[in-house]
Structure formats: C-alpha cells, structure tokens
Amino acid sequence: MDTAFEVPVLRWRFGLDPLIGLVPGVGDAATTVVAIYIVGLAAKIGMPRVTVARMALNVAIDMLVGAIPFVGDLFDVWWKANHRNATLLANRLAESPPLARKARLGDWLFVGAVVLALGLLFVGIVAVAALLLAALWNLATG
C-alpha cells in the first residue's frame, strides 16, 4: 500500500494508498479499512496496547490529513502509515516473546505527544468558537 512503486531518478517510493486516495470519499475510506486490518492483526496477536494505540494513531493521522483533497494524497506519499505500522509489527515479532510484550518508551512518547497535540487543538477550537460567539453577540446587541 505504501512502497509498491518507485520514482527512478529520485528513488521516492509510494504505493496504492495515495493513488486510491485520489478517488473522492471512497478512496480514503478503502485505504483506511486496509490500515485498520493491520492494527487489528497487531491487537489479535497480543502486541502491547500502547503499540496498538501508536499504530491506530498512525492510521488516524493518515485518515485525517489524507482526507484533504490533493494535499492529503501528497501527505500519504510521505507519511506511509501502513509501512510504519508494518515495521512496528515486524520489529515486535522479531523480539523474544517476553520482550515483545513490554511497552517501549518511544511508543509512550509518541502516543503522549499525539494526545497532547489533540488536546491543544481542542482547546484552540474551543477558544476560537468562544471568540466567534462573543463577536456575534456584540454584533447582535449593538
């Protein structure tokens, strides 16, 4: 999904994800279903919850930014959520079973950073909405 093709001179790899994503609405939904399958596999085989959360956040970032027409498709070429998740899964499977079941600091930091960013985004949206409501109230009351 993310590395099937290569631009010869530049050696950039991309896959079906950004190409399918060009189909409005349906394309991004279809590629997200494939990405969720990989996350489901990780959960099914017993990966640490924080690793599965990191994989799910990779998919969520890909889905949210990927939904922006054209910009999202370019982002898909760079982000490669499926490749990131497959690498996380392969690295965990290559470890000994006791070690593979332990959560890693990098996973916690990634999940924490994304949750913090989402929290800040939420606060920003609430602040902008409050300012807009105040401005509308001022216009209405004269």
- Judge whether residue 135 has pLDDT over 90: yes
- Judge whether residue 126 has pLDDT over 80: yes
> In 3-state terms, the chain is what percent helix, strand and coil (to 5)?
75, 5, 20
- What pLDDT is stored for residue 85 in this prediction? 93
∠ CA 4-36-93 to the nearest 5 degrees?
75
Average pLDDT over residues 65-76: 84
For tokens 């800040």, name the residue: 120
- Judge whether residue 17 has pLDDT over 90: no
- Judge whether residue 19 has pLDDT over 80: no
- What pLDDT is stored for residue 122 in this prediction? 77
Percent of the chain whose predicted confidence (pLDDT) is above 90: 17
The overall average pLDDT reported for the chain is 84
